[in-house]
A = this chain, B = another copy of it.
Amino acid sequence: MAAWGERLAGVRGVLLDISGVLYDGGEDGGTPIPGSVEAVARLKLSKLKVRFCTNDSQKSRRDLVGLLQRQGFDISEGEVTSPAPATSLILKERGLRPHLLIHDGVRSEFDQIDTSNPNCVVIADAGEGFSYQNMNEAFRVLMDLEKPVLISLGKGRYYKETSGLMLDVGAYMKALEYACGIEAEVVGKPSPEYFQLALKEMGVEAHEAIMIGDDIVGDIGGAQRCGMRALQVRTGKFRPSDEQHPEVKADGYVDNLAEAVNLLLQHAIK
């Protein structure tokens, strides 16, 4: 593999995944990954542009940022691209009235949205909200529509909490897709539109940007398909087999965000 200097040359902007890179989630709010608080601080002192790009659809952007700030991270709402606000915008633009199958923690993002007489279903990481009854309700709304529209906030397969692996929204999206014979529209990584939104908000072109994430498919593969570079951290949901993934090869593998930031500060724009 080429030297780091070559691989990181010309990088001007950094997109950071949050869960599994900054911190490990958990019912208690989770804990920062060692070195990540300082790594974010160093990155923000550098000439590199920084933006956070998450698929978290269980918490409102405000709650997520509050949680990270309490852990010591230098982060503000305006620096975060997250799927619920992005979806809210899409719903308004297209005049869609959603039936919401979402976690209570993210409901405030949809306060301004008309949910009467629904003409689409929005599904997010609902956690315990993925009961048989709630899934059936969403299914019936879709089956009653002449042209069913299902919007999914991400399509992650699972994530890791301190208590163990948790099924993510993608699994339930697949269940509804199969039952209705439809394909969902995904708002979140690895959707190219979503990466492009984050790049636009950061003000950096794809070829000058690098993604740092723990998800070989959603973060690394998705970013690369948009023309970005991408580093995988060996934290969060990383598994050793990711380094031999049959389809996706990261531009580099690093132990954690701290190592990624060290390399960037050394080898990106001088």
Contacts and interface: CB of A to CB of B under 8 A. Distances in A.
Contacts of A126: 132
Interface residues of A, number: 31
Contacts of A171: 135, 139, 175-176, 178-179
A191 B109 CA distance: 44
A170 B131 CA distance: 16
Given A128-B133, A132-B128, A135-B130, A164 B178 contact: no
Contacts of A131: 128, 130-132
A167 interface: yes
A248 interface: no
B129 A132 contact: yes
A179 to B, nearest CB: 4
Contacts of A158: 139, 143, 179
Interface in A61-111: none
Copies of the protein in its oligomer: 2
A178 B175 CA distance: 9
A171 B168 CA distance: 15
A243 to B, nearest CB: 16
Nearest to A155: B178
A165 interface: yes
A126 to B, nearest CB: 8
A66 B181 CA distance: 34
Interface in A158-186: 158, 164-168, 170-172, 174-181
A165 B181 contact: no
Given A136-B165, A139-B158, A174-B177, 10 more contacts: A127-B132, A128-B133, A130-B132, A135-B167, A139-B167, A143-B158, A157-B181, A168-B179, A171-B176, A171-B178
Task: Report the 8 A-B pairs with minimum CB-CB distance, sorted nearest first.
Answer: A171-B175, A174-B178, A171-B179, A175-B175, A130-B132, A157-B179, A174-B174, A128-B132
5 contacts: A132-B167, A136-B167, A157-B178, A167-B179, A172-B175
